[in-house]
Structure 1
Amino acid sequence: MRMLATFLVSLFLTFGLMGPLLAAELLMVERHGCHWCERWNAEIGPAYPKTIEGTRAPLRRVQINALPEDIAFSSRPIFTPTFVLVEDGQELGRIEGYAGDEFFWFLLTQLLDAHPDATKAP
């Protein structure tokens, strides 16, 4: 038991003092019953965390009627889905709506490439 406690403390000190390993995240602002959100979930959702883009900006889902207070949005999201690239609580850019998988990947790549320091692949 003592070895486990020592191991856990050393993990905390190692990783806790290093800070976050990833700088950016992609917020998906969604709404229950949103057809386009459901379509994104079916076409992109399962693959997203397995992609380079998913490692550059891990997904965090939020409901449009319960936006997190720790994010400084450039403007309040109106449409769902809205994808907001965030670093250190600041919005870097966004994609509003979902018009299909090819268009989404194209726009996301442009958004991530516009912020290379925040979205380096680990």
Structure 2
Amino acid sequence: MRILSLACAAAMALAAATVPARADLRLLMVEQQGCAYCIMWEKQIGPIYPKTSEGRAAPLRKESLRALPDDITLRSKPQFTPTFILLRDGVELRRIEGYPGEDFFWGLLGKMLENQPEWTAQLNGDAEG
């Protein structure tokens, strides 16, 4: 019986190792202290973003313009704040430079999320993504 248990555990570990890790989709907000448009975004969008389909598909990550981490790969250094960058596994896919206001932000973000599996899953009501 013990050998059977060990064999099952080994088979499950091997199966888990062959399943590719799920890609990580994030929305990076590059900000800086004193940025009026960053503050506006925080007031208008910040509290509700994690509760939206967009926020579930691409959770928010914030970083300072002056101290961007090494674990992300950007096409170019952001010049304006806020800049919103859609990342997959830390690599830039698309970006919005500046905050265009609440109404335009959602539409632009929706365009950035098009064809992303996590977004499609949210639209189809599949919380697993």
| Conserved? CA contact 1:23–1:118, under 8 Å | no
Q: Which has the higher contact order (CA 8 A, sep 6+)?
A: 1
| Conserved? CA contact 2:28–2:60, under 8 Å | yes
Query: Do the aligned partners of residues 20 and 37 (structure 1) sit closer, same or farther apart at CA in structure 2, a change above 3 Å counting?
Result: farther
Which residue in the other structure is 2:64 paired with? 63
> What RMSD, in angstroms, separates the aligned Cα atoms of the two structures?
2.1
- Letter matched to residue 76 of structure 2: S
Question: Does residue 35 in structure 1 map to residue 36 in structure 2?
Answer: yes
Q: Normalization by structure 1: what TM-score? A: 0.79
**SS state at 2:117 partner:** coil
Query: 1 CA distance for matches of 2:33 and 2:97?
Result: 17
Which residue in the other structure is 1:45 paired with? 46
Query: 2 CA distance for matches of 1:43 and 1:22?
Result: 29
**SS state at 2:68 partner:** coil
Give the CA deviation at 1:23.
2.3
| Conserved? CA contact 2:23–2:88, under 8 Å | no
The structure where helix makes up a greater share of residues is 2
**SS state at 1:65 partner:** helix
**Structure 1 unaligned spans of 5+:** 1-12
| Conserved? CA contact 1:49–1:55, under 8 Å | yes
Give the CA deviation at 1:118.
5.5
| Count of residues paired in the alignment | 107
Q: Computing the radius of gyration over CA atoms, which structure comes out larger, 1 or 2?
A: 2
Q: 1:4-51 CA distances to partner (integer Å, 9 max, x unpaired)?
A: xxxxxxxxx9xx977866620000000000000000000000000000
**Structure 2 unaligned spans of 5+:** 1-12, 123-128
The share of aligned pairs that are identical, in percent, is: 48
**SS state at 1:86 partner:** strand
Which residue in the other structure is 2:116 paired with? 116
| Conserved? CA contact 1:30–1:82, under 8 Å | yes
